[in-house]
Chains A and B, each alone.
Chain A
Amino acid sequence: MPHQCTDCGRTFEDGSKEMLSGCPDCGGNKFQFIPADAVDESVEANSPGDPPGRSSSAGAVSKAATTVRDWVGGGSDEPDRPSNRDRSSGESPPGEWPKSATEDYDTPAEKAAARTGDEPAAGANASATADTTADASTTDTATADAQSEAASTTHADPDSEDGTIQARTAGDEDNAQASARSDVVSPDELPEGTATPPADASEADDANAAESGAATDPEAPGVAGPSPDVTDDRHEAADPADTQIEDRPDLDELRDELNQQFESIKILNPGQYELNLMELYDREEYIISLREDGRYVIDVPDSWRGDD
């Protein structure tokens, strides 16, 4: 179940419609996307206020590889993540690594993975490269750090237009962590990069410690903060959250309406329809006209009864 409500933790299958109008349980409209193999780590990773500890390098590295694969593969297996593709296609010149690819990695190792994945210019086998680099980086943190510095300086400028990135000037490690932690909330609530205290040196130490100590224990205590799941979340949750805020008042009705509209009449092609009789029977309003573009005209119950 790749989608998870960041408020109550309820999870949804990939492609689920239930969350289209917010979480049915708590009404929350921020969700994170969790690849199935990372679900177990998501709960610990989910508290933005946690100290900037290190999540396991194993999880981080695999996440880096996964994300790199997503980018390189065009995200074809992630139909629910249009923002990913938008960014990669819209803001980065060909061959340059998309901006969030570098800043989203919160450990030097991840950056290294991303960076190394970048250098083959997003070729078809870049994901394989990323994988091997990710593995290597767990034992070669010095190189990873160096590469991460290089990566961040290279890509600092294109990011400046995005509100979540503005803190980058204060230092790459800080910014990466800041965005990683803060992207479970809306960009408005994003703290300044300088407000995220750890200096580069301590970050590197953290990273080293995590990579050497927690490589075999993905759930190591005290390493809650900026886990890869949170970084991944930014693509999924932050953008839709902004647009859904004004929809809050009638979430229940909206959800019901959406679900019913999806299910009662399926327009396969113009002139070809599948009907869900139970849904048609159960719905209170009444479809009086179908449009070729898939829309209906409905008669809402009040006006129906008013006629009667």
Chain B
Amino acid sequence: MQKVLGEPLLFAQALSAALETLINQLLRYNMQGTRALRPLSGKTLTVQLTELNMPLSFTISHEKVHVTSSDEHYHCCIRTSVSTLLAFNKNQQLTDLIKNDQLDIQGDLKVAQRFAEIAQTLDIDWQSEIAKRIGDMPTYQLGRVGRSLREKINFARTQIQADASEWLVHEQRLLVTAGELAYFSRDVEQVTAKLHALQQRLDALNK
């Protein structure tokens, strides 16, 4: 992909441009507006994802987020993978992630946490935004179709899970039922207890 545009780094510019447009559009729809960005004005968070092999810097200015592909200047820099980043805001895991070399943070951690807070508190009234463009009635119909589709997908997912479980446990006998597992565990515990008692008796006889 990177060589298609001729030189290695234009992919980074295309990605940062797309991200910038997407983020600022989402912020425009946010019910809280862009007020949350003000305390971060002038601050830069740089993220280096192992999957991407290029830096992405997010700078707040003029109540907008500017995305660049440069790591020359930042207030906080995070080097990690996508999966680790998703768990980033859970403070209790932070130390473990750093110890396990899954996360490397340089600079002011509060900047990263503030960025994460903004992402979590995004509150967008999608129905109202869609209604502005296509009208109230089509939005209502679209919402109804969407809800019904979601219910059907949820039902299908539950059904498939149940059928798969039935097939694996009862028809193919590849897995055991919860009852069988509990019964087996109880037997193992009884054997362990008997073995322990036997060991004690043998020890007593040897004395």
Co-complex (A, B): no
